[in-house]
Chain A
């Protein structure tokens, strides 16, 4: 596998060349600061780009073209990394070497760039996309696991720059005008920093020459100031109730360990040992030994320095689970784990890192993170750093973790009401 950065009109293009895939992926990222109003407009604009344009006059024409291009997968959506909001425009398509049509790649590139540049925004499509976005947020309520996570994040990030959903805010949807959409598109092409990734099996020189003919927007350097060191203060725990079969539990640990910090790799190993995998302390104690839950999982987020533990269980098991979670953390802090546990945690991370190079889509995201975070694309450094973590390092990392907040969406009062009520 080889990665090389070249420029097209000063826009960086990351070419990730590898022979293992039969698909190719081309993705364009457009970066802006994360805030609710802009995110709502940008998400609606990306969705409208996906719907139709001057060449492909309606949604059906877009779909038919994707089918004619051998099931080409095209998407224009939004995501976020730390403080940054990203419009992500992707085509994933069959490698032209498997298609009996010499013009196939050219057709794919023409389609992609047409969807980017030949936009044709109108009020009817905007209204449709507004309806879909409302439906998306309303559907969050139906899925109670997702709804619980949304409520948890709302409380946790109430004053934090990360609080915005990448699709924006439901309350702001109706206010977005057609002029806002056009402005957002213009800003995307003329003001936003952008980054392009190409992954798959291709001849870089030929593809670069082809792309150069199609890409036509203004270059701005990426903003690599992607995370903030936020001083979270301890929060009052919150329990809310609704009609549920199972309580959803979220516990937050504050670590203050971020990307590039000395304890970054020890914290990853600590979290794997503590709660990330099915061999972790949390899984083995809460699920396997105490049979309190079907799932329990801890996720370390190096953009926020937080660890979130999530689980679902009977209301009557919540207190016992909380006690076991705190006990498991104390055990890791005090070194109550074996060398065997440490090897399992390190190997768990090792295999995940190695496997992360096995998808054309994942390679694109990896290249973006490398560009934003100035981390090496190659796996070698990460693997070496993880293998170098020792028991003392893990204990030190665990000692940084302090309980910040507990949120429970509970079904305890489900016979009384179905409307959200809060107990603090």
Chain B
């Protein structure tokens, strides 16, 4: 059991490995009524293959998400009732790179953690349950199909990536959902839901060592045996160029909109410090160019080219990285051209040093603010742990990002790495 205290933000974590296989971190948050627990496994929507006896077997798009739904079923019953019975609410979400099961509880923390581990590591799938779930997931998909921003986002990813499965809808598509079978779910579960690769994170007011000792001494904690079904690591094979530079969607909307996607090729993925520094530098760069305090944003807002829907998102994982930015606009072609021009024609001379310093101050504030939101804290703790770092050390890394680090990010982007999806009124 290892304890680390971070005095600058007055936070303490205790971590250990349960049964020498499952890493657990407890973040101590005195005063909070709820405890928040997450268990993440490295099966995301981009993982669609497993290996058996040396052979790689392809499953269906959306298998990680489908599996996430079915993990909740036990003997035909929804396990979430057992959580609710003792003041807890359980949920889950699937991302491109992982699946995370979460619960918040105001009582019976230990029992809920044990329940979560059993649920995630020992599911019981049935053909009947899988068939019933198909309609539910198809309705989830239909709900998204009525959302024009979702369609624009999905189209942008499809045009950024040639082969990378991050371009696939996390839910899969109608065909893949209908094809989902028992073998797909069982095999993918055996391959990817392994304790060694999972992360259990507990954020609670309770004393961390007490929580861990209770878990260590609980005889009912039996982690699953290792399987001969193996995960298939994703090997990045994408070229830096996008599939196509523009797509147009005609949608039932009242205001046209633009979404620009910038494909970034991840680098230094085995060097957590370097990769994290890159991530911050890229994020600072785009904020300097486009955040509401930038002259560009303010000029475009004043000129009526954008409105308050303008948004910027930087995704940076080991397996993929991209930047998305866009807005509703009455002049989609003009906005598209201006965004691309701003990205590709910026030089270091265009970047304001004072703005750089302000961005860093904002990062300090945002970091400390995030510590009050247990869900946010748990998510980012997990994210940095996946990269081999402690969340609390990340702020130091961010503060060490130099002006040169930021300007160097400009060298990673060319016009051929950029795609745009324009949505126009039907």
Contacts and interface: CB of A to CB of B under 8 A. Distances in A.
Nearest to A244: B146
A142 B250 CA distance: 12
B9 A98 contact: yes
Given A64-B293, A314-B142, A71 B307 contact: no
Nearest to B423: A142
Interface in B298-337: 298, 301-302, 304, 307-309, 328
Contact of B253 (A71, A142, A359): A142
A66 B365 CA distance: 10
Contacts of A295: 143
B133 interface: yes
B34 interface: yes
Interface residues of A, number: 69
Contact of A22 (B85, B137, B368): B368
Contact of B146 (A72, A73, A145, A350): A145
Contact of A351 (B104, B365, B426): B104
A245 interface: yes
Contact of B308 (A64, A135, A292): A135
A314 B139 CA distance: 7
Interface stretch (A13-21, A179-187, A256-264): A13-21
B135 interface: yes
B254 to A, nearest CB: 4
Contacts, number: 189
Interface in B1-25: 8-9
B361 A344 contact: no
B41 interface: no
A40 interface: no
For the residues of B in contact with A, the DSSP-based class is mixed
Contacts of B32: 20, 358
Interface stretch (A28-36, A55-63, A215-223, A228-236): A55-63
Given A19-B31, A243-B252, A347 B137 contact: no
B279 interface: no
A143 to B, nearest CB: 6
A141 interface: yes
A360 B372 CA distance: 9
Interface stretch (B76-84, B217-225, B266-274): B76-84
A393 interface: no
A303 to B, nearest CB: 25
A79 to B, nearest CB: 17
Nearest to A345: B84
A157 interface: no
A302 interface: no
Interface stretch (A80-88, A114-122, A206-214, A283-291): A283-291
A211 B161 CA distance: 54
Contact of B252 (A131, A246, A358, A418): A418
A242 B87 CA distance: 41
B237 interface: no
What is the interface residue range for chain B against chain A? Answer: 35 or more
A246 B145 contact: yes
Contacts of A305: none
Contact of A245 (B105, B145, B361, B373): B145
B376 to A, nearest CB: 11
Nearest to A127: B304
Interface string B67-100: 0000000000010110011111100000000000
B317 to A, nearest CB: 24
Given A64-B358, A294-B140, A344-B85, A142 B254 contact: yes
Contacts of A98: 8-9, 368
B255 A138 contact: yes
B147 interface: yes
B369 A92 contact: yes
A246 B142 contact: yes
A415 interface: no
Contacts of B137: 294
Contacts of B140: 294
Contacts of B80: 278-279
Contacts of B371: 22
B362 A67 contact: yes
Contacts of A92: 369
Given A139-B309, A355-B34, A70 B365 contact: yes
A350 B362 contact: no
B148 interface: yes
A128 interface: yes
A63 B132 CA distance: 50
A250 B151 CA distance: 25
A246 B142 CA distance: 6
Contacts of B88: 351
A21 B31 CA distance: 8
Contact of B293 (A60, A139, A343, A360): A60
Interface in B223-259: 251-255
Interface string A304-345: 000000001110000000000000000000000000100110
B52 interface: no
Contacts of A351: 34, 87-89, 104-107
Given A246-B142, A246-B146, A344-B84, A139 B365 contact: no
A90 interface: no
Contacts of A313: 139
A142 B251 CA distance: 9
A277 B88 CA distance: 12
A20 B147 CA distance: 38
B374 interface: yes
Interface in B250-296: 251-255, 291-295
A60 B298 contact: yes
B384 interface: no
Contact of A139 (B146, B205, B328, B359): B328
21 contacts: A20-B32, A60-B298, A63-B291, A69-B365, A92-B369, A131-B307, A132-B307, A132-B308, A245-B142, A246-B142, A278-B89, A291-B132, A291-B134, A292-B139, A294-B140, A294-B143, A312-B143, A344-B81, A351-B89, A354-B106, A355-B34
Given A145-B147, A355-B104, 9 more contacts: A20-B30, A21-B31, A66-B362, A70-B364, A139-B309, A279-B81, A291-B134, A312-B139, A344-B84
